Amino acid sequence: MPRARTKSKMQPVAASRPTMGKRGAAQRAAPIELYYWPTPNGWKISIMLEECGLPYVVRPVDISKGEQFTPHFLAISPNNRIPAIVDPKGPGGRPISVFESGAILQYLGRKTGKFYPRGERARVAVEEWLFWQVGGLGPMAGQARHFRQYAPETVGYAIARYTDEVNRLFGVMNARLAEHEFLAGRYSIADMASVGWIRLAEKLGQDLTQFPHLKRWFETVRAREAVRRAFAIRIEAASKVDVRDPNVRAILFGQRAR
Ligand SMILES: N[C@@H](CCC(=O)N[C@@H](CS)C(=O)NCC(=O)O)C(=O)O
């Protein structure tokens, strides 16, 4: 199980222990850097890296302390959001950075040829469900969580609107998964993108027992060894964050153009 240390800002704190193939030594020399915080968007990429057996180091970005605004991180992720990666062995053997979880999943899928099929029909199915997640489930669940847990006042209309929308989206997934084992048929980056939000179902005001096919899928995906390893990465500082702390709230909420 990967175990993180939090020594200093943006230092590597954890590395996966992937199964090394013949090229293991060369890969070990140049791990992918994962700019990460343990959130549903961060989990997507740790899952994919674990699934692919790619060596990586976790560089925590403490978003509760504002590390997402450091010039170093903004050069990699101009949207001041995790996750982001730097692949020292990008196209042409030169380093490349990638931000936005969907773009990272696609990049890693193309790089490895895993979980992102090449055939056009299968690829379209993966992309439909990947974009459904990044454009729908993720943002709606994020708003639901904000108004249910973090808003300074209880805004009934906002809670109902986003909780209902997440409920609708869970229903869409449930219907899809009644007909297909995984979102795009076979296990893919689309499943990796969604699983972290389903993990938070209760916090989003959802009861998984009302979505039996989604529940079956969730239990299958979270039981995968790679997914378990990704969810097991501990960032000590993250477990101590108190979202009621005014300093944390000032950083995370009410952000405007800088
Ligand atoms: N569209 C982005 C969303 C990423 C995102 O919202 N990341 C959150 C953590 S889950 C973050 O970095 N928040 C920092 C902040 O709010 O300042 C993606 O899919 O990568």
With a pLDDT cut of 70, the percent of the chain lying above it is: 89
Q: Which residues contact 71 (CB under 8 A, 6 or more apart)?
A: none
CA distance 176 to 30: 39
Residue 241 is predicted with a pLDDT of 96
- Global pTM exceeds 0.85: yes
Q: Into how many domains does the chain fold?
A: 2
Residue 206 alpha carbon to ligand 1 centre in Å: 22
CA-nearest of 97, 89, 90 to 35 is 97
CA of 22 to the centre of ligand 1 (A): 36
| Domain enclosing residue 20, as ranges | 14-114+233-252
Q: Which sign, positive or negative, has the C-alpha torsion 4, 38, 249, 71? A: positive
Identify the burial level of 73 via C-beta atoms within 10 angstroms of its C-beta, where 0-12 means exposed, 13-18 middle and 19 or more buried. Answer: buried
Residues 159 and 108 in one domain: no
Q: For position 149, which CATH number holds? A: 1.20.1050.10
Q: What is the pLDDT of residues 104-115, one digit of tens each?
A: 999 999 999 999
* Least confident piece of the model among 23-37, 123-137, 147-161: 23-37
Cβ of 70 less than 6 Å from ligand 1: no
Q: Is the CB of 81 under 6 A from ligand 1?
A: yes
143 lines ligand 1 (CB under 6 A): no
Q: What is the token pair recorded at 225?
A: 């060894």
Whether residue 92 sits in one domain with residue 164: no
**Is the pLDDT assigned to residue 13 strictly greater than 90?**
no
Whether the upstream peptide bond of residue 88 has omega within 30° of 0, thus cis, is no
Domain co-membership, 241 together with 213: no
Q: How confident is the model at residue 21 (pLDDT cuts 50, 70, 90)?
A: very low
Stretch 15-41: mean pLDDT, rounded? 68
pLDDT computed for residue 53 by the predictor = 98
Distance 82 CA to ligand 1 centre (A): 5
